[in-house]
Chain A
Amino acid sequence: MNVRMLLLALLLMASPALAQGFAGLGGDAQGFAVPERGVALSFPQDHGAHPDYRIEWWYLTANLKGADGKDYGAQWTLFRSALAPEEKSGWQSPQLWMGHAALTTAETHYSAERVARGGVGQAGVTLSPFVGSIDDWTMTSHAPPSADALSALNVNASGDGFSYRLDLAAQGPLVLQGDHGYSVKSAQGQASFYYSQPFYEVHGTITVGGKDIAVTGQAWFDHEWSSQPLAKDQTGWDWFSFHFADGAKLMGFRLRDAGEGFTSATWIAADGAPEPQPPGALTVTPLAWTDVKGHRVPVQWKLALPGKGLEVTTSPVNPEAWMDTRVSYWEGPVRLQGTHPGQGYVEMTGY
């Protein structure tokens, strides 16, 4: 999920105070650790932070159905970015943290952003128990000691006009992306460590405009860390994570550049077995556009993966799911029609 690395880079670049931390992003790893093939991921340690890598995130998206029968979406993200490949206590820590949270209803898209320094306890990820947090936003494990820490999570966040408290229970295993978690991103050999937990069943409560609504649904979690940047000519990306009704999942993205762009996808069987698809196998086509806060964004897509007999079209729960954060982007829940009905999340940047 290299695209999100770029997202983070762009987000942080846009904030003057934060930009300097990424001044070296166009160059090499500059003393930071680099993902290497064949290094086995080890849990629960690798659920935690990797301060010697430049960049890392814990990313959760949830498609929810309210007791009122309406569709909702929730996003919870914790980014970590290191100015130096080390951790120190107190204000001297070179680790920076950023959180994004969003709640999407058919009418309104709520979003919020939090930033923090490492070292002083305002934000970070601990392992026993597993807690990722920034300010009052937390992602806390309540899994039994024998189970994977991520198999049961409480997640909450709040912002201007919204909040949510979700209880997540994993119905399948962790999915290691790429080569046992070593995920190659480009022909130049850039790579990350990357695993997902796409099998969450969700129960919880969302609060919108002071009103509590009980919700249930599905959620998808990613954890990825790396030190290497992306190409400079890429103008943005479109990213898709789909839960199909038959239990299978799809992660796919298109990187846009001056030319044809680059697509990539991973098919995840209902039992959690990942099937990486060759580059270009996935085709994505925008079908309808809309104007959101001065940006023209495709809000209906046709995705086709012939190898799996897949052809679906997306329709957004709320076409105006715009993240009003330092760098703004579109991220929201979608419904799927076609060969594989279901639901999922779409993220679009650079529009």
Chain B
Amino acid sequence: MLTQGFAVLLSHWWRHKLQFAMLLLGLALATALWSAVQAINGEARASYARAAAVVGQDRLEQLTTADGTHIPQESYIALRKAGWLVSPVLEGEKRFGGERLRILGVDPITLPADAAQVDVGAADIGLARFITAPGVFIMSGETAARLKGVDTPPIRISDALPPGTVLTDIGIAQQVLDAPGQLSRLLLAPRQPTEARPLAEVAPGLVRRAPAVESDLSRLTDSFHLNLTAFGLLAFAVGLFIVHSAIGLAFEQRRPVIRTLRALGLPLRTLVLLMVVELLVLSTVAGLIGVALGYGVASLLLPDVAASLRGLYGAEVPGTLSIRPSVWGLGLAIAVAGTLVSAASRLWRIATMPLLAPARPRAWSLASERALRLQAVGGILLLVAAWLVVQFGSGLVAGFSALGAMLLGAALLLPLVLSLLLKLGERLSKGVIAQWFWADTRQQLPGLSLALMALLLALAANAGVGTMVQSFRLTFVGWLDQRLPSELYVSTRSNDESQKVHDWLASRSDAVLPIWNTEVRMFGQPVQVFGIADHATYRDYWPMLEAMPDAWDRIARGEGALANEQLARRQKLALGDMIPLEGGHKLPLVGIFSDYGNPKGQVIIGVRLLETLYPDASRLRYAVRIAHDKAPKLAEELRATFDLPEENVVNQTTIKDFSLKIFERTFAVTAALNVLTLGVAAIAIFASLLTLSGMRLSQLAPAWAMGLTLKRLALLEILRSVALASFTMLAAVPVGLGLAWMLLAVINVEAFGWRLPMHVFPMDWLRLFLLAVASAIIAALLPALWLTRRQPADLVKVFANER
């Protein structure tokens, strides 16, 4: 009985192969995008974890200087001699053939077992080779591949290391980083002997720091990944629309069969069970396909994501994907869960359906106006909820909740809006065909509404994210001009060289402006402190958001500090608030400036004060003012005189180009996901039109019999799809604007700490509109083509059951 019942249920799919294909495709695509995003996030998170776990930073307490400056090696020896079980680490960055590497020097002898993820004693490395010149660079395979042909110490591969990170001996690191006798931090062994002398006595400059459970990196990149996750969810939701509609149709079409099966004695419970099993099988198959597809999508997107993360946060993520069973298992699970949720209401209806209920396949497409209104009320409630969350909520999750509520609310509202628009069209049209066209389109609405809602989401996301990206771009370009007014930017390699370069430049340029900085921890987060000279360049150009009138004078006198927008927002700083600097020194905040693309907080003080407060600050960089046409020649001479590498003297244009390139890559992924989501929506429409096309025949046949040709009818079918897509696009514009506003004014502020002005780009919407129309035409083309191929015999069947 079970097998036979099951066979009858499955035979439906055999008869409706396209419907089956659409169901699988919808579910597979939804799963694919979801798993792709999860896989990318997983890869990135694993990479951060690896980075955090390197030399045990995530598990071991550490000793560092309070201001993050280097520790003299003597302090290390003094601590050991005082009984402290510490192990030295030197960390720094160094370019090898254009690749910037994070060099981590460790002492493998004293390194606590918790911190040793690479066995340098292994045969292929060798302790002797590791600790004696020229040393060994241990890195991931991917990093090694990037360094092919570059002159480095011998390389060994270990995949325990995140990309871009090199593990080497402390002695080798001191040579490579040109930091003899210097250490970055000391790792504390988990158990310390009882009789060590107090830290303050042995090494007064050092502070104990708890293990970095969550790395700064993963905190900084959280917002980026939340963005991706939101997109993944959106794509999945769009996919579920397809699934919901395909399953709904299949269930309705099978009502007679179900009734017959029950009449023949198959218990209801067994029947429902069989249908659940059927769904499980279907969703597992689709989930597997989706997961495989997702892997492909993720592999394609990952290089861009990796580039974005590197550009935005300096976070190193490998460009290749590893298989993470958890991600794929989750993908499969969500496919199954999504299917069951989509089918739950149908199953419930089957379970409660009276045995002799009439089969009403058309009822499926004839939802009443009342249902539309009810749905619209739900939509309005969601919109109100979104508004409330924006007004009273805070935090990234609240931001995304509001976003989700707004999108879903708009989607629920869509069918009613479309229905009203179509009614209007019907009222305004004169000709009989036009009237019939509008009336019939309105009648199609319930059957297409899920697909159209999916389209609305995709279009609104496109319009909204597009507006956000373009607004950002416009602001960013203008900001770059303000932020980079100097003609040349010079990086020297040592304090000695720095002084010489300064003196050399002083007589050859209009101004040499020091860009000296240090990184400290302030308000419990890493903050960059910059010292700048008093110069018209800053007074004229600096992108100040708000400032006291005498801000620059106060900075010049060392009596005020500037903070970037993100720091000010995060700490809720207002002008006049005190900024805590080194050694209890405090300065009032006299201005807030925009600082896009910088994940870290930044404080600017007068350069003299920086020298006093932070004697160890890096003093290697300068901005040079000179007549624009003289800049290239000066750069050339500067490089020649001091034998500076190409990249150490850069002109304004190069930096701007570089910044813009980072910007473009950052949003490449967003764009790709956008297009994919739109693709899924197009498929949703296609699927709905396909499934409806079977039922359409009985609706079209009377019109055909009354004297409309099939070609004409087919054309009208395409026009109908275009009209619906166009109206949906019209509805998507305000939703997209709302989305863009939320992204710019809510999400960006929460995620990055800056708020951007919104700009509107109608030409982009036109392009999107054309895209929507094109996808509507493509989606309607096949069913329309089929319609023209119909034989009269098929159509007359509608009128009579006999011949």
Q: Tell me how far the C-beta of B152 lies from the nearest C-beta in chain A, rounded to whole angstroms.
A: 18
Q: Tell me how far the C-beta of B281 lies from the nearest C-beta in chain A, rounded to whole angstroms.
A: 50
Query: Which residues of B are found within 8 Å of A94, using beta-carbon distances?
Result: 128, 131-132
Q: Are B193 and A17 in contact (CB under 8 A)?
A: no
* A115-B128 CB under 8 A given contacts A121-B77, A158-B195: no
Q: List the A residue with the shortest CB-CB distance to B77.
A: A121
Say which one of B20-28, B114-122, B544-552, B685-693 lies at the interface with A: B114-122
Interface residue? A96 (CB, 8 A):
yes
Query: Which residues of B are found within 8 Å of A116, using beta-carbon distances?
Result: 80, 109-110
Q: A102 vs B108: C-alpha distance in the bound complex, in angstroms?
A: 24
- Chain A residues 16-38 with CB under 8 Å of chain B are 16-21, 23
**Chain A contact residues: over half helix, strand or loop, or mixed?**
mixed
- Chain B residues 101-147 with CB under 8 Å of chain A are 107-111, 116, 119-123, 125-133
Query: Which residues of A are found within 8 Å of B80, using beta-carbon distances?
Result: 116, 122, 135-136
Query: Which residues of B are found within 8 Å of A159, using beta-carbon distances?
Result: 193
Q: Kindly name the residue among B77, B174, B180 whose own CB sees the greatest number of chain A CB atoms within 10 A.
A: B77
Interface residue? B83 (CB, 8 A):
yes
* A117-B109 CB under 8 A given contacts A17-B120, A17-B121, A21-B127: yes
- Chain B residues 164-202 with CB under 8 Å of chain A are 169-172, 174, 180, 191, 193-196
Q: Tell me how far the C-beta of A336 lies from the nearest C-beta in chain B, rounded to whole angstroms.
A: 33
Interface residue? A92 (CB, 8 A):
yes
Q: Are B109 and A115 in contact (CB under 8 A)?
A: yes
Interface residue? B160 (CB, 8 A):
no
Q: Which of B116, B121, B169 contacts A19 (CB 8 A)?
A: B121
Q: List the A residue with the shortest CB-CB distance to B192.
A: A160
Q: A16 vs B122: C-alpha distance in the bound complex, in angstroms?
A: 7
Q: Are B81 and A17 in contact (CB under 8 A)?
A: no
Q: List the A residue with the shortest CB-CB distance to B120.
A: A17
Say which one of A55-63, A83-91, A270-278 lies at the interface with B: A83-91
Query: Which residues of A are found within 8 Å of B194, using beta-carbon distances?
Result: 158, 160-163, 210
Interface residue? A15 (CB, 8 A):
yes
Interface residue? A112 (CB, 8 A):
yes
Query: Which residues of A are found within 8 Å of B123, using beta-carbon distances?
Result: 20, 23
Query: Which residues of A are found within 8 Å of B126, using beta-carbon distances?
Result: 20, 23
Query: Which residues of A are found within 8 Å of B180, using beta-carbon distances?
Result: 90
Q: Tell me how far the C-beta of B379 lies from the nearest C-beta in chain A, rounded to whole angstroms.
A: 63
Query: Which residues of B are found within 8 Å of A23, using beta-carbon distances?
Result: 123, 126
Q: List the B residue with the shortest CB-CB distance to A161.
A: B194
* A20-B107 CB under 8 A given contacts A92-B171, A160-B193: no
Q: Tell me how far the C-beta of B55 lies from the nearest C-beta in chain A, rounded to whole angstroms.
A: 13
* A91-B128 CB under 8 A given contacts A17-B116, A136-B83: no
Interface residue? A67 (CB, 8 A):
no
Q: Which of A16, A90, A92, A135 contacts B119 (CB 8 A)?
A: A16
Q: List the B residue with the shortest CB-CB distance to A15.
A: B121
Query: Which residues of B are found within 8 Å of A135, using beta-carbon distances?
Result: 80-81, 83, 85
Interface residue? B654 (CB, 8 A):
no
Q: Tell me how far the C-beta of A223 lies from the nearest C-beta in chain B, rounded to whole angstroms.
A: 23
Q: Are A90 and B109 in contact (CB under 8 A)?
A: no
Q: Are B109 and A16 in contact (CB under 8 A)?
A: no
Query: Which residues of A are found within 8 Å of B116, using beta-carbon distances?
Result: 16-17
Query: Which residues of B are found within 8 Å of A121, using beta-carbon distances?
Result: 77
Q: Tell me how far the C-beta of A263 lies from the nearest C-beta in chain B, rounded to whole angstroms.
A: 34
Q: A90 vs B74: C-alpha distance in the bound complex, in angstroms?
A: 12
Q: Tell me how far the C-beta of B802 lies from the nearest C-beta in chain A, rounded to whole angstroms.
A: 87
Interface residue? B82 (CB, 8 A):
yes
- Interface 1/0 per residue, A102-122 and B, CB below 8 Å: 000000000010011100111
Q: List the B residue with the shortest CB-CB distance to A162.
A: B194
Q: Are A18 and B193 in contact (CB under 8 A)?
A: no
- Chain A residues 146-160 with CB under 8 Å of chain B are 158-160
Q: Which of A83, A163, A207 contacts B128 (CB 8 A)?
A: A83
Query: Which residues of B are found within 8 Å of A83, using beta-carbon distances?
Result: 127-128, 131-132
Query: Which residues of B are found within 8 Å of A90, using beta-carbon distances?
Result: 171, 180
Query: Which residues of A are found within 8 Å of B129, using beta-carbon distances?
Result: 20
Interface residue? B322 (CB, 8 A):
no
Q: List the A residue with the shortest CB-CB distance to B81.
A: A136
Interface residue? B525 (CB, 8 A):
no
Query: Which residues of A are found within 8 Å of B195, using beta-carbon distances?
Result: 136, 158, 163, 207
Q: Tell me how far the C-beta of A158 lies from the nearest C-beta in chain B, rounded to whole angstroms.
A: 4
Q: Which of A17, A133, A158, A163 contacts B108 (CB 8 A)?
A: A17
Q: A103 vs B125: C-alpha distance in the bound complex, in angstroms?
A: 37
Q: Which of A115, A158, A160, A210 contacts B191 (CB 8 A)?
A: A160
Q: Which of A21, A84, A91 contacts B170 (CB 8 A)?
A: A91
Q: A128 vs B641: C-alpha distance in the bound complex, in angstroms?
A: 51
Q: A94 vs B172: C-alpha distance in the bound complex, in angstroms?
A: 13
* A120-B121 CB under 8 A given contacts A20-B126, A21-B127: no
Query: Which residues of A are found within 8 Å of B174, using beta-carbon distances?
Result: 91
Q: Are B193 and A120 in contact (CB under 8 A)?
A: no
Q: A18 vs B122: C-alpha distance in the bound complex, in angstroms?
A: 9
Query: Which residues of A are found within 8 Å of B128, using beta-carbon distances?
Result: 20-21, 83-84, 94
Q: Which of B82, B83, B127, B191 contacts A18 (CB 8 A)?
A: B127
Interface residue? B11 (CB, 8 A):
no
Query: Which residues of A are found within 8 Å of B495, using beta-carbon distances?
Result: none
Q: List the A residue with the shortest CB-CB distance to B73.
A: A120
Query: Which residues of A are found within 8 Å of B133, using beta-carbon distances?
Result: 92
Q: List the B residue with the shortest CB-CB distance to A115.
A: B109
Q: Are B77 and A120 in contact (CB under 8 A)?
A: yes
Query: Which residues of A are found within 8 Å of B83, using beta-carbon distances?
Result: 135-136, 158
Q: Which of B109, B122, B125, B193 contacts A96 (CB 8 A)?
A: B109
Query: Which residues of B are found within 8 Å of A112, using beta-carbon distances?
Result: 193
Q: Tell me how far the C-beta of A108 lies from the nearest C-beta in chain B, rounded to whole angstroms.
A: 14
Q: List the A residue with the shortest CB-CB distance to B173.
A: A91
Q: A259 vs B77: C-alpha distance in the bound complex, in angstroms?
A: 48
Query: Which residues of A are found within 8 Å of B196, using beta-carbon distances?
Result: 136
Query: Which residues of A are found within 8 Å of B127, using beta-carbon distances?
Result: 17-21, 83
Q: A190 vs B193: C-alpha distance in the bound complex, in angstroms?
A: 39
Q: A135 vs B373: C-alpha distance in the bound complex, in angstroms?
A: 80
Q: Tell me how far the C-beta of A165 lies from the nearest C-beta in chain B, rounded to whole angstroms.
A: 11
Q: Are B125 and A20 in contact (CB under 8 A)?
A: yes
Q: Tell me how far the C-beta of B285 lies from the nearest C-beta in chain A, rounded to whole angstroms.
A: 47
Query: Which residues of A are found within 8 Å of B82, using beta-carbon distances?
Result: 136
Q: A90 vs B182: C-alpha distance in the bound complex, in angstroms?
A: 12
Query: Which residues of B are found within 8 Å of A96, using beta-carbon distances?
Result: 109
Q: Which of B73, B121, B191 contacts A20 (CB 8 A)?
A: B121
Q: List the B residue with the shortest CB-CB distance to A136.
A: B83
Q: List the A residue with the shortest CB-CB distance to B111.
A: A17
Query: Which residues of B are found within 8 Å of A161, using beta-carbon distances?
Result: 194
Q: Which of B85, B107, B193 contacts A117 (CB 8 A)?
A: B107
Q: Tell me how far the C-beta of B172 lies from the nearest C-beta in chain A, rounded to whole angstroms.
A: 8
Query: Which residues of B are found within 8 Å of A91, using beta-carbon distances?
Result: 107, 131, 169-172, 174
Q: Kindly name the residue among A84, A116, A133 whose own CB sees the greatest number of chain B CB atoms within 10 A.
A: A116
Query: Which residues of A are found within 8 Å of B171, using beta-carbon distances?
Result: 90-92
Q: Tell me how far the C-beta of A18 lies from the nearest C-beta in chain B, rounded to whole angstroms.
A: 6
Q: A168 vs B128: C-alpha distance in the bound complex, in angstroms?
A: 37
Q: Tell me how far the C-beta of A87 lies from the nearest C-beta in chain B, rounded to whole angstroms.
A: 12
Query: Which residues of A are found within 8 Å of B77, using beta-carbon distances?
Result: 120-122
Residues of chain B at the chain A interface (Cβ within 8 Å): 73, 76-77, 80-83, 85, 107-111, 116, 119-123, 125-133, 169-172, 174, 180, 191, 193-196
- A–B complex contacts, Cβ < 8 Å, 21 sampled: A16-B120, A17-B111, A17-B119, A19-B127, A20-B120, A20-B122, A20-B127, A23-B123, A23-B126, A91-B131, A96-B109, A117-B107, A117-B131, A122-B81, A135-B81, A135-B83, A158-B195, A160-B193, A161-B194, A207-B195, A210-B194
**Apart from the given pairs A16-B121, A20-B128, 15 other A-B contacts in the complex at a CB distance below 8 Å:** A16-B119, A16-B120, A18-B109, A18-B121, A21-B128, A23-B126, A84-B132, A91-B169, A112-B193, A121-B77, A122-B77, A135-B81, A163-B193, A163-B194, A207-B195
**A-B residue pairs, 9 tightest by C-beta:** A91-B171, A20-B127, A16-B121, A83-B128, A136-B83, A17-B108, A20-B126, A19-B121, A16-B119
